[in-house]
């Protein structure tokens, strides 16, 4: 349930977005994250990290999310670091 521990849930969603498993939020162009979408993202993250695919934020998933790591996203789409950097430069 998302309501049972909102802080933990929000942290996990934040983590999934930061490392490319969820699309970046944008109220004008994107939908609210669906539960299915979040579950799918968790599964991809679990598969990528080599832990059991459960689709829920379990203790193994939380442990992996708290493991020190590289800042770059695991799933590099249109929002990869360099493109974001270029866009920011153009704005400046």
Which parts of this chain interact with another protein (CB under 8 A)?
Answer: 1-4, 6-7, 9-11, 13-14, 19, 25-28, 31-35, 38, 47-50, 64, 67-74, 76, 80-86, 88, 90
| Minimum CB distance to another protein smaller for 33 or for 62 | 33
Eight-class DSSP state of 25: P
Tell me how far, at minimum, the Cβ of 77 lies from another protein, in Å. 11
Identify the CA nearest to 41 among candidates 69, 9, 4.
Answer: 9
Which residue matches tokens 């799933």?
A: 75
Identify the CA nearest to 20 among candidates 78, 69, 61, 67.
Answer: 78
| Minimum CB distance to another protein smaller for 1 or for 52 | 1
């Amino acid at each position: 349930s998302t309501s049972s521990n909102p802080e933990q849930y929000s942290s996990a969603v934040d983590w999934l977005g930061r490392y490319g498993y969820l699309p970046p939020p944008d109220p004008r162009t994107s939908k609210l994250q669906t539960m299915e979408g979040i579950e799918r993202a968790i599964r991809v993250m679990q598969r990528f990290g080599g832990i059991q695919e459960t689709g829920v934020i379990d203790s193994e998933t939380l442990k992996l999310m708290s493991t020190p790591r590289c800042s770059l996203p695991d799933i590099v789409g249109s929002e990869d670091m360099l493109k974001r950097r270029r866009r920011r430069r153009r704005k400046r």
